[in-house]
A and B are shown apart, each in its own frame.
Chain A
């Protein structure tokens, strides 16, 4: 039982609890309505969020299953709508906005905002935010990695009116739809989202009827105060202090090699917390930049992971202060391209995981795999009318090892844990593709006393198609998923293409746009596993053997990464045994040499890689060297940066 704390509530505890739960139920009802009527398959797979706001635009409640990445941004877009339409709003109005430069995320996330009136008094807003399938721009799905500014990216929607006093403004809606590759779905999603906001209006007015306007509006304030109190209480119970870390984006497409640092210094003082991004790189020549709203969202999402039980609303944000240098990769301004903001976003989230892991070791976690998106589009030549197709897909991967527990296997990326992966049978019906493989990738997990979760590999063939192009949006081909507390990184990765009729793979890496593809081309992409937690030489050999039996780990890497020597007795019967003596010797050998390996001359490592003596897993896990994975050439600046992190997170924890 928690002890009594000072409460400043003016509502009685029962009314308060009822209203608090009703606000959340209301938002969950919006989600249910959206899921069941949406058109965008991105929304259908749960890339959406909903919120209820007070009359000032602050968030009162977010849904239980909303995607993480929209957290901490919905109040911004609501406030922007208020700024533009204040004094000019009426019941039945609905506004749209997708502006990342006004606190949104990226163009694809289109928010519909409805003012809610009790008679003639504005009492709040409901907002429904969904990822539309296309917003125009230079490539299908609106993700052009080479975009330097927003003009290649798609349609920027500053606040505008989509419904006026209940009347659908089809002129405006049609203009928006006409700027996309999927106009019919866009109109469908506008209706779906507008109805979701109306469902919230109905519910809020029902509460007003029952409890009275004053109690409800007071409840909307007090649920925010409640969350604020709970967070401040937890913060004040923690020791004051400062924590620092750095994570990287692979590179600036417009510059030479060398990773792009995002630096964070976190300071807890009393019941306040400050995140300072001073020292982070300036904006880069690709869409992998983040505007301030999205950066704030990443901070909140990372921190919320350590407060999983608290409801989300603006009360959570009140004790958080964020400072970032102007025009940095985490603080981009119009018109810098930001559609790939999820790349800095996940770096920030994982950095926050790392710092909070020191504060709450019972919830500690190593780095999670990086999200990836494949977008291919063109004409589907299987059908006589050759319709436009858009193949847009993301894969799950492994999360970081934990304190006393292996990382979560094959799970959605950390930016959006609610997101679902897509069925292959659905892909094959809708798009001219055939999947030949979708399975767990052996040895993808970062070794550790508690290994990372495993990633997957998906391989597909393009069937009859015309004018098809492909884009791939990923990262951590170089800033490889890291381990902590002596744990090892997982794996570098990128997309490989086997041209129709040819035998050899072409390495296309983890970031490219508008690449022409033809019928019969086969493309394969793995996702990384999570980083390891703790020294892999301390992993229980029995656990390593179980992983070998399930083919999560190969016999070879059981030996090289864990120093565990296992003999196969009868594979059919899953019978193996550990050679205890050989294991001890092997572990002693690794222990004696591993620090030298991690500091070996990178050119020697490059030579061994090129000659086939070692592979890319050896290069990152044992030699801490980052190469151009196609040519085997050393990337000197990148390697220096990678080694600096490896020394801190891994080597320093070895005995």
Chain B
């Protein structure tokens, strides 16, 4: 038995397990039904089903939705917050804005910790970090006793200006620990030491409410795995796109809040890089929604503007993923202005599209694709059969009749509107951020990504579409390909023209010492550590900063300023050479490199593959006689032109007329959209 690596992605419907042979790089996939009440049951089922010998596993990594689901469903253990007197309501006042500006009946959700469980103590630190009032210990002990009586399960400590001086918060923690030694306590000056109280408190609050949930989950899963023979640390994928060990999960629980979403983006970036496209856009289209992500120069785009529920930011750096309500099950409809719409309402997993025969009679994207012949009537290796008559009826009634269209024209209209919506989402992530889609490849995956990918790419003038070998389980692959990663940041507010390089160097070194300590704690060897510095800057008077890379030794600030001008011009189309520049924040990304196994590359021998059949498929109002291929029969070097359909167990790839497609050495299908 050879050594293997195992990655698990727990989704809503399926739990996917990716098993890689460390010597050959061969990957096999196990798919098992998810067990939402106890996700680790499905994981252990999959391990058994895949006959994985855990004692031979060198790395077990996991993307989990446990934290995400706990926050979404609000099944959270009772958690308290201790605040500076006068500032009990920071997380309830938020920034006071709404998500839906016009709908007066749609409210922002209440904070995770209700007002009754937010208590205050006397203490105060000013904006420079001077202690105006030391923590009042009588208040602190009184609060600790009350919280003990209430039997809270976790506590957040959030004091004003603690980002410059965390002394009072640390003292408060000590007192809480004296009274309740085993309780998790998150303090804002350690969780997120950055200016702006709501964003810092909100992150700390998310961290505190998640802590009991994820610590329990991670330790139970860890025990199960080690009982079954696994000898290493369980690795958990976090929203920043790296993994961390259970030791860090305890202190930074909320970093797991985006764990599941990050996996697809990482996989997409990896596949893009593998195929020679360091600039790629991830297009992960499932049943109800599509996740779009972007990698530039081989790196995922990271954001700190992120939340599970509007109004409660989680400011840990996270891979930026834009989710829109467009999937295979999205419903077509006519609004009262007479316009054809698509989504975000969805037929869901049940009843699903009309052609699933479960009683839904409204047309979905899947129904339209069936009518157009793009989707076959037998899916998942024959496990699911679709009814084309029901699909046609739904498209006829929902769109063709109301708009006075012919059936196929109506089906094309449905798909075209869905594609346009998804293209707009890609546009928001690319063009509006200063990226030209023509410089990217589109990586199409998820159950429906390959059905729509080529059309969306054409809409955006993206020249190449990559369809990975197993589009439906690509996210699990993402969990397999990651490094240990932690992010550190500090407020560093200064005028760039007067800041001394030595001061900045000192601040960086201090953060890097923490970073090395954390990585060492996780068992990363010195030679596998990589530290990346960034400085966030802005024109003096601006309100948002831009990050630029900084060297390992800060010698001249002016080269940072020059890099900032360049980045500002790339992103916003102009620079102000004459305007003074400010420094806002410095950050260190600490990476513990996990050795990667090589994905095997097959010999490419150009040839024309043999279709397994032909069928009539509609494009641009015309019925085409299209070749139908079976994906499993493809070998490296196969090339063909559209119109063509490629079918496989978990996905269908559409190659529109005139587009050329070929299979590369890693068995990806590459579609060239020009032509």
Contacts and interface: CB of A to CB of B under 8 A. Distances in A.
A245 interface: no
Nearest to A7: B338
Given A1-B362, A396-B96, A456-B89, A195 B573 contact: yes
B543 A191 contact: no
Interface stretch (B237-245, B375-383, B420-428, B464-472): B420-428
B400 to A, nearest CB: 11
A573 B97 contact: no
A421 B96 contact: yes
B197 A308 contact: no
A217 interface: no
With a 10 A CB-CB cut-off, give which of B403, B572, B579 has the most chain A CB atoms: B572
A265 interface: no
B62 to A, nearest CB: 34
B101 A1 contact: no
A531 to B, nearest CB: 13
B101 A65 contact: yes
Contact of A13 (B102, B108, B197, B340): B340
A423 B197 contact: yes
Nearest to A433: B127
B104 A439 contact: no
Interface in A19-63: 20-22, 25, 28-29, 32-33, 35-39, 41, 44-46
Interface stretch (B275-283, B329-337, B629-637): B329-337
A155 to B, nearest CB: 19
Nearest to B403: A13
A411 B98 contact: yes
Contacts of B95: 45, 420-421, 423
B595 interface: no
Interface string B87-104: 111101111111011111
B600 interface: no
B613 interface: no
A542 interface: no
A417 B197 contact: no
B341 interface: yes
Nearest to B416: A14
Interface residues on B, range: 35 or more
Given A25-B427, A420-B96, A425-B127, A13 B89 contact: no
Contacts of A304: 102
A178 interface: no
B134 interface: no
A1 B542 contact: no
A159 to B, nearest CB: 23
A428 B87 contact: no
B195 interface: yes
B574 interface: yes
Contacts of B196: 423, 425-426
Contacts of B427: 25, 29
B12 interface: no
B154 to A, nearest CB: 18
Contact of A188 (B101, B433, B541, B544): B541
B13 interface: no
Given A2-B336, A20-B339, A425-B197, A405 B420 contact: no
Nearest to A574: B116
A559 interface: no
B166 to A, nearest CB: 14
Given A17-B340, A28-B432, A440 B543 contact: no
B420 A17 contact: yes
Interface in B534-575: 539-544, 571-574
Interface string B419-447: 01100100110011100000000000000
B74 interface: no
A66 B101 CA distance: 8
A569 interface: no
Contacts of B116: 549-551, 574
B147 to A, nearest CB: 9
B337 A227 contact: yes
Contacts of B92: 409-410, 440
Given A9-B338, A573-B149, A14 B115 contact: no
A436 B86 contact: yes
Nearest to A362: B105
Contacts of A20: 339
A185 B576 CA distance: 13
A295 B265 CA distance: 48
B596 interface: no
With a 10 A CB-CB cut-off, give which of A18, A65, A573 has the most chain B CB atoms: A18
A21 B421 contact: yes
A21 B337 CA distance: 14
B418 to A, nearest CB: 10
B608 interface: no
A336 to B, nearest CB: 30
A107 interface: no
B100 A308 contact: yes
Interface in A344-398: 353, 363, 365, 396
B149 A551 contact: no
Interface string A225-241: 01101100110000000
B150 A572 contact: yes
B574 to A, nearest CB: 6
A456 B544 CA distance: 27
Contact of B107 (A33, A408, A549): A408
Contact of A434 (B115, B126, B199, B576): B126
Contact of A230 (B160, B337, B576): B337
Contacts of A482: none
Interface string B290-334: 000000000000000000000000000000000000000000011
A187 B662 CA distance: 53
Contacts of A68: 101-102
Interface of B: 86-90, 92-98, 100-108, 114-116, 126-127, 145-146, 149-150, 160-161, 163, 195-199, 333-341, 362, 398, 401-403, 412-413, 416-417, 420-421, 424, 427-428, 431-433, 493, 539-544, 571-574, 576, 579
14 contacts: A1-B398, A13-B413, A21-B421, A28-B428, A44-B544, A195-B574, A230-B336, A419-B97, A421-B96, A425-B196, A429-B195, A438-B86, A438-B87, A550-B114
Nearest 6 CB-CB pairings of A with B: A396-B96, A230-B337, A437-B86, A308-B102, A44-B543, A420-B95
Given A2-B335, A44-B544, A188-B576, 8 more contacts: A16-B339, A17-B339, A233-B336, A396-B93, A418-B98, A421-B93, A438-B89, A574-B150
